[in-house]
Structure 1
Amino acid sequence: MRGEIDIANATQLCAALLHATDRSECQCLIVDLSKVQFIDLSGVRALYECCRVLTWEGRHMVLAEPSAAAQRVLTALRMDRDFEIYPIVEAALVHTARQRYEEGPITGVCGCD
């Protein structure tokens, strides 16, 4: 993802993320936020809704490498406690692959059970 995530594109973002996972065997969606320059409440809500839907379907979503702007908003909204967030994309890949191998499907993330 890059640029801005706000009220103008939040709904489309969630739909696009869900559509991308529907077309594949994706069990874990890693959302790279490193190039996000701006995110507002609508954007965070869209990410949370996407995470909620995936969790309901028995899948998993994590956030990775949030930009300073994204991290500030997630922290201010206390959503850094609800999302599973990794400091770099590679850490998210390693952790989710290890969890899938050791424990099977991942459930109960995003605080949205």
Structure 2
Amino acid sequence: MSGQSRESFPCREAVVFAVRGEIDIANAARLCAGLLQATDRPECGCLVVDLSRVGFIDLSGVRALMECYRILTREGRHMVLAEPSSPAARILDALDMGQTFEIYPIVETALVHTGRQRYEEGPFTGVSGAD
């Protein structure tokens, strides 16, 4: 899994959206809505989804990420995944999602092509509040 093999383009502003907890059928739609809401400003050209604190993700979670990716791509925006936890990396690898997403090993490498960054804490998963 690597985002380095793809051509990148400079983004004006990137939003880093940290996802934590479990992503499953019970909250996948809410996650997608939260991701799209985080990018709801014209200057935001890139969404970096930080998956480092994801304890579990199922197929519905991957579908939610893909739906957000499709929507943002249609709008001319960029979405990448960064720092997937072991459970997230396993399912992304098993589904060969590196063919669809740019996946970076750490958040900082995903931000190299951006001008400005903004950090969003994503309480839109199975765990809300503190870890």
Shorter-chain-normalised TM-score: which range? 0.7 to 0.9
Long gaps (5+) in structure 2: 1-18, 116-131
1:42 corresponding residue in structure 2: 60
Q: 2:40 matched to 1:22?
A: yes
How far apart, in 1, do the equivalents of 2:110 and 2:82 lie? 6
What letter corresponds to residue 66 of structure 1 in structure 2? P
How far apart, in 2, do the equivalents of 1:84 and 1:35 lie? 18
* Counterpart selection for 2:103 from 85, 88, 106: 85
How far apart, in 2, do the equivalents of 1:25 and 1:5 lie? 28
Q: Which ranges of 4 or more aligned residues in structure 1 deviate by more than 2 Å?
A: none
Q: Deviations over 1:45-100 (max 9, x none)?
A: 00010011000000000000000100000011111221100000000001x328xx
Long gaps (5+) in structure 1: 99-113
Normalized per residue, the structure richer in strand is: 2
TM-score scaled by length of structure 1? 0.82
TM-score scaled by length of structure 2? 0.71
Question: Which has the higher relative contact order, 1 or 2, with Cα contacts under 8 A spaced 6 or more apart?
Answer: 2
Q: 1:4 to 1:22 in 2, by over 3 A?
A: same
| Most deviating of 62-71 and 73-82 | 73-82
Give the CA RMSD over aligned residues: 1.2
SS at match of 2:55: strand
Paired residues, what number? 97
Q: 2:93 matched to 1:97?
A: no
Q: 2:76 matched to 1:58?
A: yes
